[in-house]
Structure 1
Amino acid sequence: MKAVVLASGGLDSTVAAALAKREGHELFFLTVQYGQRHEVEVERALAIGRALGVSDHRIVQVDLRSIGGSALTGDVPVPKGRSAADRAAAIPVTYVPARNSLFLSLAVGYAETIGARRVYIGANVVDYSGYPDCRPEFLRAFETTARLGTRAGVEGQGIEICAPLLHKSKAEIVRLGMAHQAPLHLTHSCYDPAPDGTACGRCDSCQIRLAGFEAAGFTDPITYAGREESV
């Protein structure tokens, strides 16, 4: 059975892909190059796709810089060194307006063209940065919209939106990735990497990732700025 995976090159989408593969799906990756400042993730997504043996990998280009409204697509500084309380206080400036609505629309369109009945996304509501489009109610509503607005849905073959990591902590996600031999060493999570792609270690995403590896009892296999070895 075919499945489309929204592959960002990050930890969560990679583990979601590994779980889809474990369930016997033939993997088709979709990566969106949307003008994000951390475009190194596109390169990592391609490497992860090769490692997981995907049948096809599409890169779709969408210029979200023309809309702006986010530190990931504009000149707004990426927050660094924030506490968990700071992260929970408000939706951060790294939120990209309507990003998952757009990404899921593209993934559903791709799924419909290849006859896939599932779209996998690494959305998570436990250890995340407060993004509204990662919540279960949003994903359920989008699945309904996709059923109503596609030929597949009208013909009774709706496309399921699968978020297997939705209610898991980052530590649980790391453990799942290790257990299923996901290529975590190829993943990239940093919002504000160095020109060579090295993770900063201080943005929200890096801090959540580092805490997850520590809580899971594993060493993060990627390199962080200012540290001679992987953390």
Structure 2
Amino acid sequence: MADLNQQQNASSQKPKAVILLSGGLDSTTVLAIAQSQGYECYCLSLDYHQRHNVELLAARRVATALGAAEHKTVQLDLSLFGGSALTDNNIAVPEHETPGIPVTYVPARNTIMLSLSLAWAEVLAANDIFIGVNALDYSGYPDCRSEYVKAFQQMANLATRAAVEGQPITVHAPLIDMTKADIIRTGHALGVDYGLTVSCYQADDTGAACGVCDSCRFRKAGFIQAGVADPTLYRSA
């Protein structure tokens, strides 16, 4: 009984953090990083009626495997608005590089997800939020830039009771300046099993990846450049 009490006390002394967890490679690495930094991790996923739900199943696997304190999935139907290949099945997922911001950009998704994580962080009395955005090996999404992360943090500290009462919120984006290869090397060193993750924009019901969308291309190249074996099941491999 004494050992159990000691473990509970040790857990309660850890700072709490909310981790945005999509079930993909980047957010899984961020969860591992936050845990390595001593945070008690509360994972938040968003079921926004995306093109497939296998990434949500992956998020559940990852949260369990990495020992998250809690994992919640919020239901919010962004397909009501559409405007993205990930929320409208009438818009095809590009299978080659396209100029400008691609149609896989989901309008305001990161803002919505960060807002939900901010709400939960206040309830948990957590001062830290982690998000897996990246400004190097990404598809040009405007809400994956460091300027955006800083702006959201500033807003969060203007808009929350916690911050006004002296407990400011920090939004961490530890992958922001890393290449995909660097991300994979970091996760690999932390023992991440990337076979649990799903990154493909159009994975099938088994989680098998198309191998040709932007997300798959970045992922495949990252494993090659990192010199780490790629555990992904590709339909076109």
Tell me if TM exceeds 0.5. yes
Aligned length: 222
Matched residue, 1:221:
231
Which runs of 5 or more residues in structure 1 are unaligned?
none
| Cα deviations by residue, 1:7-59 (Å, 9 ceiling, x for unpaired) | 00000000011000000000100000001013110000000000110111011
User: What value does the CA root-mean-square deviation take over the aligned residues?
Assistant: 0.8
Say whether 1:77 aligns with 2:92.
Answer: yes
Of the candidates 197, 202, 216, which is equivalent to residue 207 of structure 2?
197
CA contact (8 A) 2:17 2:128 kept: yes
Say whether 1:8 aligns with 2:8.
Answer: no
TM-score normalised by structure 1 residue count:
0.94
Moved over 3 A (4+): none
The 1-side partners of 2:147 and 2:52 are apart by 28
The share of aligned pairs that are identical, in percent, is 50
Task: Tell me the SS of whatever aligns to 2:216.
Answer: helix
Matched residue, 1:122:
132
Q: State the Cα distance separating 1:193 from its structure 2 match.
A: 1.2
Task: Tell me the SS of whatever aligns to 2:236.
Answer: coil
Matched residue, 1:188:
198
* Structure ID, larger Rg: 2
Which runs of 5 or more residues in structure 2 are unaligned?
1-14
Say whether 1:17 aligns with 2:31.
Answer: yes
Task: Tell me the SS of whatever aligns to 2:219.
Answer: helix
| Cα deviations by residue, 1:135-163 (Å, 9 ceiling, x for unpaired) | 01111010011111111111121111000
1:9-88 residue pairs with structure 2 within 5 A?
A: 9-74=23-88, 75-80=90-95, 82-83=96-97, 86=98
Of the candidates 113, 116, 121, which is equivalent to residue 111 of structure 1?
121
The 2-side partners of 1:190 and 1:183 are apart by 17
TM-score normalised by structure 2 residue count:
0.92
Q: State the Cα distance separating 1:195 from its structure 2 match.
A: 2.8
